[in-house]
Amino acid sequence: MEVSTIGLDLAKNVFQVHGADAAGSVIFRKRLRRDKVLAFVAVQPICLVAMEACGGAHHWARQIAQMGHSVRLIPPAYVKPFVKRQKNDAADAEAICEAAQRPTMRFVSVKSEEAQASAVAYVEDDLITSISKNFLLLRKASTTGIGVTFFGPITTFVISVFSSSPFR
């Protein structure tokens, strides 16, 4: 039995790998440290390698594609329905593998390094604009008696008017 699809669940240090044949039968389930992943994939026969789409997945997809494998990135929302039991990395790897074998599955294209860099620049510009706008709102609020509370790293805010504000 030869592996035809590999589901790879990415993490910080330990990755989960799930291999299945064309019929969907399990060939292997493995835990691999980050530095062993490329060596493991290199010795596998040319097959489909699937991962959940995220910023790091594009890097891994480029590395694995250079070895001749076909790489597919799946949006996390499309993988979630395939998780059969409790949420853990091994179950996620199996769900990724199963989702990749579906004929109607939609995939995300792998971004080049340049495309990822331009996306980061776009987010950076958007964040700077957001911070600047919110700083101006905060200055205005401090002079008009409106309290502004900020939540989270990407600034969303709730404006509350204080009836007895010291700024009025």
- pLDDT digit string (tens) for 109-123? 998 888 877 777 667
In a domain, 167, yes or no: no
In a domain, 94, yes or no: yes
In a domain, 41, yes or no: yes
Answer yes or no: do 104 and 135 share one domain. no
The owner of tokens 């010795």 is 43
Answer yes or no: do 57 and 140 share one domain. no
- What is the C-alpha separation between 16 and 156, in angstroms, rounded? 35
Q: Which tens digits make up the pLDDT trace of 81-106?
A: 899 888 888 899 999 999 999 999 99
79 Cβ neighbours under 8 A, 6+ residues apart:
52, 92, 95, 96, 99
| Domain end among 93, 111, 129 | 111
Both tokens assigned to 84: 């059969």
Answer yes or no: do 70 and 86 share one domain. yes
For the entire predicted model, the pTM comes to 0.70
Find the CATH number of the domain harbouring 69: 3.30.420.40
pLDDT reading at 24 higher than 50? yes
In a domain, 166, yes or no: no
- What is the C-alpha separation between 142 and 153, in angstroms, rounded? 21
Host domain of residue 87? 5-111
Number of compact structural domains in the chain: 2
Scored b (16 or more CB within 10 A) or e, 119-146 reads: eeeeeeeeeeeeeeebeebeeebeeeeb
More confident residue, 116 or 21: 21
